[in-house]
C-alpha cells in the first residue's frame, strides 16, 4: 500500500482526487523521462547502436550499465516532496509497480527500436497479450485475429473473454478478403501474428492496417517471431506492437516477460494505466537481464538466420520430408512479401516428416543437439510438436483449419555450429 504524506487531511472529495492521481493518471511518460539524464540521444542512430545505448541512464556513480533498482518503493525527501510527486508537480519515482529506473531503461529501448511513442514492460508475453485485449475490448465488442495465433492467445479469448460478452473470429489474415469478411459493426480490434506460430504464414501488415483503419479499427501485431530487428509493424501503419520478450528479445531462455509498444501517447497512457492497475509490471531484475540480452539481438539473429536458411534447404531436399515452411525459401507462398516487409527471414520454421505423427516423434526422440522443449528464440536450437504441446488446448478442427497438422514439427534454430545441427537432424531422419 502507499503511505500518504502527513500534510494530507482527507475529505471524501480529496480522497477521490488522490485515488484518481495515483491510480489513473499516475506518472506520465514525459515526467518519468525527466527523472533521468540519458547518456546518449539515440533517435538518429542506427539499429545496432540503439541496441547498445538506448534508454541507458547516467546515475550519480557513472555506471556504464543501468543498475538494478531492486526496490519496491522510493523514499521522499520530506512530506512536501511526497505530496508534489503524487500531485505530479514534481518528477520522481514512487513505487515500482508504477515506474522503476531499470524497467524504464528497457521500456525506452524497446520504444526506440520499434519507432514507437512508449514501451510498457510486463511480467510475461501473455500479460502483454491480455493488456492489449483488456485495453481495447469491452462487453459487446468483437475481435478478429489470426487463426494460427499462439495457442494461449486464442484460448484465453475463447475460454474467458466470452464470459464478458466479447466475441472473437479467427481467420487466415494473410488473405485480406478474409479479414474484411470477418469484420462486424462491433469489431474494435484486429490482432495479427506474423509470421504465425507455428505455420509461418505472413500477413501484409501495410494493407491490413489500411483495411482496419478505414473502419476505425485498431490493429495490434505480435512481433515475437521477428523482433524489431527484422520487422517494424508501427512503420507499416499498425497501432500496437507486442512481444513475448522471453524469446528473441532476451534470447537466453532464462527470463519470462513481455512488452507492449504503442505508436501514440493516447494508447500509451491508456495501456500504461491498465498495467499499473492490474499489477502486471515487470520486475527490475527481469528488466536488467532482458536489457542485457537485447544488446546482442542483431548478432544472435544474424547467426541464427544463417543457420536456419541452411537447415531449411537441407530439409527441403531430403526425401523423407513432405514440406518445409520457411519464409527464406522461394517455395514459401509469401516469400516475396517477406522480402518486402521484413529485413530478414528469421530463425523459425515448420516442417512435416513423411509418416505423420509417428515419424515426427521418432525425430524428436532421437535428436541429440536440438533440445526437445517449447518456447523459441534462444541461442540453443529447440524442437517441438505443436499439436500436442503449445497448441494442445485448441480443438482438433481449429487446428486443422489453422494448418497445425499432427505431423507438423516446429524448429527454432539457434547459434550452434551448423554442421552439428544438420548432422544431428540427418542421423535422426535415418531412424524414420
The verdict on whether 247 is a catalytic residue reads: yes
Among residues 93, 95, 150, 161, the one annotated as catalytic is 150
* Cα–Cα distance, 394 to 384 (Å, whole number): 16
**171 phi and psi, to 5 degrees?**
-135, 165
The verdict on whether 150 is a catalytic residue reads: yes
The verdict on whether 215 is a catalytic residue reads: no
> First-to-last CA distance in the chain?
60
* Cα–Cα distance, 183 to 188 (Å, whole number): 9
Among residues 85, 154, 247, 303, the one annotated as catalytic is 247
Among residues 105, 141, 204, 222, the one annotated as catalytic is 222
- 277-309: burial string, b at 16+ Cβ within 10 Å, e else: eeebbbbbebbbbbbbbbbebbebbebbbebbb
Contacts of 47-53 spanning 24+ positions with Cβ under 8 A: 47/113, 47/228, 47/229, 47/298, 48/298, 50/109, 50/112, 50/113, 51/109, 51/113, 51/294, 51/295, 51/296, 51/297, 51/298, 52/295
- Contact (CB, 8 A) for 155 and 202: no
Among residues 50, 97, 399, 410, the one annotated as catalytic is 97
* Block residue for cell numbers 494473410: 174
The verdict on whether 18 is a catalytic residue reads: no
Burial class (CB in 10 A: 0-12, 13-18, 19+), 216: exposed
Give catalytic residues, as residue numbers. Answer: 97, 150, 222, 247
Amino acid at each position: 500500500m502507499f503511505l500518504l504524506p502527513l500534510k494530507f487531511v482527507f475529505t471524501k472529495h480529496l480522497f477521490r482526487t488522490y485515488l484518481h492521481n495515483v491510480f489513473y493518471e499516475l506518472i506520465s511518460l514525459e515526467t518519468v523521462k525527466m527523472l533521468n539524464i540519458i547518456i546518449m540521444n539515440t533517435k538518429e542512430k542506427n539499429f545496432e547502436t540503439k541496441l547498445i545505448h538506448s534508454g541507458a541512464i547516467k546515475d550519480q556513480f557513472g555506471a556504464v550499465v543501468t543498475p538494478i533498482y531492486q526496490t519496491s518503493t522510493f523514499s521522499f525527501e520530506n512530506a512536501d516532496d511526497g505530496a508534489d510527486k503524487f500531485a505530479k508537480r514534481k518528477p520522481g519515482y514512487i513505487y515500482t509497480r508504477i515506474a522503476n529506473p531499470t524497467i524504464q531503461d528497457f521500456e525506452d529501448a524497446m520504444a526506440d527500436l520499434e519507432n514507437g511513442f512508449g514501451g510498457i514492460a510486463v511480467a510475461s508475453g501473455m500479460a502483454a497479450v491480455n493488456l492489449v485485449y483488456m485495453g481495447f475490448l469491452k462487453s459487446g465488442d468483437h475481435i478478429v485475429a489470426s487463426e494460427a495465433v499462439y495457442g494461449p492467445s486464442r484460448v484465453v479469448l475463447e475460454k474467458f473473454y466470452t464470459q464478458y460478452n466479447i466475441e472473437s473470429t479467427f481467420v487466415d489474415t494473410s488473405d485480406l478478403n478474409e479479414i474484411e469478411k470477418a469484420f462486424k459493426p462491433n469489431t474494435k480490434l484486429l490482432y495479427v501474428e506474423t509470421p504465425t506460430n507455428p505455420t509461418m504464414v505472413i500477413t501484409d501488415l501495410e494493407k491490413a492496417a489500411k483495411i482496419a483503419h478505414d473502419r476505425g479499427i485498431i490493429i495490434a501485431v505480435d512481433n515475437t517471431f521477428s523482433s524489431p530487428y527484422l520487422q517494424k509493424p508501427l512503420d507499416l501503419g499498425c497501432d500496437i506492437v507486442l512481444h513475448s520478450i522471453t524469446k528473441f528479445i532476451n534470447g537466453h531462455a532464462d527470463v519470462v516477460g513481455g512488452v507492449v509498444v504503442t505508436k501514440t501517447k493516447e494508447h500509451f497512457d491508456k495501456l500504461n494505466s491498465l498495467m499499473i492497475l492490474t499489477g502486471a509490471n515487470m520486475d527490475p531484475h527481469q528488466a536488467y537481464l532482458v536489457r542485457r540480452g537485447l544488446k546482442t539481438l542483431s548478432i544472435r539473429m544474424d547467426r541464427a538466420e544463417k543457420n536456419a536458411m541452411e537447415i531449411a534447404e537441407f530439409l527441403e531436399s531430403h526425401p523423407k520430408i513432405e514440406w518445409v515452411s520457411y519464409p527464406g525459401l522461394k517455395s514459401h507462398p509469401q516469400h516475396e512479401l517477406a522480402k518486402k516487409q521484413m529485413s530478414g527471414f528469421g530463425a523459425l520454421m515448420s516442417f512435416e516428416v513423411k509418416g505423420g505423427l509417428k515419424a515426427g516423434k521418432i525425430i524428436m526422440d532421437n535428436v541429440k543437439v536440438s533440445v526437445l522443449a517449447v518456447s523459441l528464440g534462444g541461442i540453443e536450437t529447440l524442437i517441438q510438436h505443436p499439436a500436442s504441446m503449445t497448441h494442445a488446448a485448441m480443438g482438433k478442427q481449429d487446428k486443422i483449419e489453422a494448418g497445425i497438422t499432427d505431423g507438423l514439427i516446429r524448429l527454432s534454430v539457434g547459434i550452434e555450429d551448423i554442421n552439428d545441427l544438420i548432422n544431428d537432424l540427418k542421423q535422426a531422419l535415418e531412424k524414420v
